[in-house]
């Protein structure tokens, strides 16, 4: 894998965050703070939160809250991956079932212009171009962003899960179940 920054230079990276267990919105907020708590990671932009049905994995999962952040980092790609995994672990991420329910998922979508087929960290993220829950929030913070030669907004509109996206209204913070303030 080509490792980009050396000598303290910063590389722009896009990270996708999702949660469908527990206090989802609080988890995402805490994860953003934890991700940029290191001086090697600087926050550039935070997308609005969207709610979606689970894509893949076991049936009957609670809905996900998803968001995207743009950062610049001096961490090498694999070091950024390890940092993301440490933040997942801090938020009690358990890896039992592929694409199963989770308190927090953090994916590196792009790391500068780096392309890598390394099985540990494939870049750009191999399924990002098909996932509206990544593409749409990303398009809101970077309308001119390009992935695989196309604008992320155009990719989002064609993604199979686009119709299932809804803005998150702040209610239903626990496993997709309203916890306070829900209007019947």
CA–CA distance from 99 to each of 53, 57, 96, 109 (Å)? Answer: 12, 4, 9, 16
Active centre residues (catalytic): 93, 102, 105, 107
| Residues whose CB falls within 8 Å of the CB of residue 33, separated by 6 or more in sequence, listed in order | none
Cα(36)–Cα(69) distance, integer angstroms: 10
**CA gap 35, 42 in Å, rounded:** 9
User: Are 105 and 91 within 8 A, CB to CB?
Assistant: no
CB atoms closer than 10 angstroms to residue 8: 7
Give the N- to C-terminal CA distance of the chain in Å, as an integer. 53
d(CA 59, CA 57): 7
């Amino acid at each position: 894998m080509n490792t980009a920054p050396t000598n303290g230079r910063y590389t722009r990276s896009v990270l996708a965050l999702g949660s469908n267990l527990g206090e989802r919105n609080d988890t995402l907020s805490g994860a953003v703070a934890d991700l940029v708590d290191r001086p090697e990671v600087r926050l550039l932009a935070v997308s609005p939160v969207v709610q979606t049905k689970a894509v893949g994995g076991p049936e009957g999962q609670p809905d996900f809250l998803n968001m995207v952040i743009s950062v610049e980092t001096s961490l090498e790609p694999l070091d950024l991956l390890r940092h993301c995994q440490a933040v997942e672990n801090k938020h009690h991420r358990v890896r039992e079932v592929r694409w199963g329910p989770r308190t927090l998922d953090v994916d590196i979508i792009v790391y500068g212009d780096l392309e890598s087929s390394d099985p540990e960290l494939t870049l750009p993220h191999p399924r990002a171009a098909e996932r509206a829950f990544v593409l749409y929030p990303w398009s809101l913070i970077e309308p001119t962003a390009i992935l695989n030669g196309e604008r992320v907004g155009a990719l989002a509109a064609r993604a199979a899960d686009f119709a299932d996206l809804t803005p998150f209204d702040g209610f239903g913070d626990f496993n997709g179940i309203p916890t306070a303030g829900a209007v019947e």
